[in-house]
């Protein structure tokens, strides 16, 4: 199939009206929720789960920076963790010491990633996990730990341990919003939801703004459900593969990425098809749309690639291109930048001429806050897509001033 002339991409899907209504969660044009899904108060957790949050001084200004989330009874679970070779202490503790299929609780802090902190960082992560386990009456290997924030700075442990003890007595089934706020770093708004369909409830909380690029997971994300799920690891892999694995903000893989899915089975019903996928895709899009300084989101689809790896590589090259991202910000339909990025990803390969007939970039310069881009390589039958955001002045400012 190599060398076949590129066909013009199909027109992009008709855009839904742009919406940032806080009372509507499943709002993106790219999210397809099941019929009859009901959006609940986003602060509510799925039945049988509770959370709490408080301030321990990591972020300063009295802002909440510590969260605890727990199931009332034993649950099944699945967890995905970053592939970054310099994985943070909490990731290493979860990977090596947690019972991944039966995690009942998680303790999370923001403001300090506890990454690149050596053996002391591992001891601190274990101490936090053990304090949470003690307060909840659980074995330590049933408690996950996640941390996010500045890399390379040792924790101030004692305020965290005192905070964990305090939160252990404050758990509430309606504290999802406080928990979501506690895990934020450069996020401009908390990311959370509670939805119900066919007698099953799914609640979720996530954070992410910068240092977003998939490994196995992206950012921090916690999902709870009362559904019965036969294979939680497969369910999480599948849902993450079409959502959190499909996004990039700046092409940087975090040292701390963690996704935790917990299922109690109390509803006595299976997950409705598409419900978990819809929730996690909307959360992923929330993370991209809140990319540091972001104002727009785009989806790039690469078609007619020689194989799946090629399609993925070209899509990511376009999505991570500073030139394409600034064109998205400026609403400039500069399809030449897309051709350049695709060609760079395929350097040395025979490629049909990528002209205007092979690239649909009209929405790059459109009015919608969600733009669709399509590229036809004319080399085969495989395809891939990636969601990304624009790049503007605020990204530089935020990251230039991050620790100063």
Task: Please say if the pLDDT value at position 11 is more than 80.
Answer: no
Taking only the tens place, the pLDDT of each residue in 367-387 is 999 999 999 999 999 999 999
pLDDT, residue 217, reads 36
191 by DSSP, 3-state: which? strand
Q: Which of 64, 218, 225, 258 is catalytic?
A: 218
Distance between terminal CA atoms of the chain?
53
Taking only the tens place, the pLDDT of each residue in 312-332 is 999 999 999 999 999 999 999
Known catalytic residue at 201:
no
pLDDT, residue 335, reads 95
For the stretch 367-371, contacts whose Cβ atoms lie closer than 8 Å and that sit 24 or more positions apart, written own/partner, are 367/331, 368/15, 368/18, 369/18, 369/289, 369/295, 369/296, 369/297, 370/15, 370/16, 370/18, 370/28, 370/29, 370/30, 370/296, 370/297, 370/298, 370/299, 371/296, 371/297, 371/298, 371/299, 371/328
Task: Please say if the pLDDT value at position 17 is more than 70.
Answer: no
Distance between CA atoms of residues 331 and 362, nearest Å: 10
- For residue 366, what are its two tokens? 């459109």
Poorest-pLDDT segment among 166-175, 235-244, 341-350: 341-350
pLDDT, residue 136, reads 98
Strands, E assignment, 72-228: 76-81, 105-112, 143-150, 191-197, 200-207, 220-225
Return the residue matching tokens 């001084």: 57
Poorest-pLDDT segment among 5-14, 40-49, 110-119: 5-14
As a whole number, mean pLDDT of residues 208-236 equals: 79
Kind of pairing, strands 143-150 and 200-207? unpaired
Q: Are the CB atoms for 373 and 299 separated by under 8 Å?
A: yes
Other Cβ atoms within 10 Å of 62 Cβ, number: 8
Residue 160: closest CA among 208, 205, 87, 108: 108
Domains of the chain, earliest start first: 38-289 (3.60.70.12), 297-400 (3.10.20.340)
Residue 328: closest CA among 363, 354, 282, 375: 363
286 by DSSP, 3-state: which? helix
% of the chain surpassing 70 pLDDT = 91
pLDDT band (50, 70, 90) for residue 404: low
Distance between CA atoms of residues 167 and 308, nearest Å: 46
Task: Please say if the pLDDT value at position 110 is more than 60.
Answer: yes
Task: Please say if the pLDDT value at position 253 is more than 90.
Answer: no
Cite the DSSP H helix spans in 66-152.
89-97, 118-136
* DSSP 8-class letter at 172: B
pLDDT, residue 402, reads 65
pLDDT band (50, 70, 90) for residue 291: confident
Distance between CA atoms of residues 387 and 285, nearest Å: 8
Average pLDDT, the chain: 90
pLDDT, residue 16, reads 41
Distance between CA atoms of residues 370 and 158, nearest Å: 45
Distance between CA atoms of residues 218 and 291, nearest Å: 13
As a whole number, mean pLDDT of residues 17-24 equals: 52
Distance between CA atoms of residues 336 and 345, nearest Å: 14
């Amino acid at each position: 199939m190599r060398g076949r002339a590129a066909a013009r991409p199909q027109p992009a899907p008709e855009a839904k009206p742009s919406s940032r209504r806080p009372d509507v969660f499943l709002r993106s044009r790219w999210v397809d929720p099941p019929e009859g899904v009901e959006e609940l108060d986003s602060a509510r957790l799925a039945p049988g789960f509770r959370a709490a949050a408080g301030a321990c001084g990591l972020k300063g200004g009295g802002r909440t920076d510590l969260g605890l989330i727990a199931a009332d009874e034993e649950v099944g679970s699945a967890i995905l963790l970053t592939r970054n070779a310099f994985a943070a202490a909490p990731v290493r503790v979860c990977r090596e010491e947690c019972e991944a299929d039966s995690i009942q609780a998680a303790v999370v802090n923001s403001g300090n990633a506890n990454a690149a902190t050596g053996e002391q960082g591992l001891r601190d992560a274990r101490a936090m996990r053990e304090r949470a386990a003690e307060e909840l009456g659980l074995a330590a290997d049933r408690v996950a730990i996640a941390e996010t924030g500045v890399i390379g700075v040792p924790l101030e442990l004692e305020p965290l341990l005192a905070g964990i003890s305090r939160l252990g007595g404050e758990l509430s089934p309606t504290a999802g919003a406080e928990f979501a706020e506690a895990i934020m770093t450069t996020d401009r708004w908390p990311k959370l939801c509670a939805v119900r369909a066919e007698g099953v409830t799914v609640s979720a909380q996530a954070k992410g703004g910068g240092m977003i690029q998939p490994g196995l997971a992206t950012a921090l994300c916690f999902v709870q459900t009362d559904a019965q799920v036969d294979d939680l690891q497969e369910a999480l892999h599948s849902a993450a593969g079409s959502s959190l694995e499909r996004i990039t903000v700046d092409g940087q893989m975090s040292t701390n990425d963690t996704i935790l899915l917990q299922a109690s089975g109390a509803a006595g019903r299976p997950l409705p098809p598409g419900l978990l996928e819809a929730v996690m895709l909307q959360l992923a899009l929330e993370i991209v749309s809140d990319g540091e300084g972001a104002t727009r989101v785009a989806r790039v689809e690469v078609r007619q690639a020689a194989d799946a790896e090629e399609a993925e590589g070209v899509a990511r090259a376009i999505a991570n291109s500073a030139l394409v991202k600034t064109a998205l910000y400026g609403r400039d339909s500069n399809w030449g930048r897309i051709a350049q990025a695709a060609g760079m990803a395929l350097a040395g390969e025979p490629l049909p001429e990528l002209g205007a007939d092979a690239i649909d970039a009209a929405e790059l310069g459109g009015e919608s806050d969600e733009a669709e881009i399509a590229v036809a390589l004319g080399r085969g039958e495989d395809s891939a897509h990636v969601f990304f955001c624009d790049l503007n002045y605020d990204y530089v400012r935020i990251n230039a001033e991050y620790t100063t």
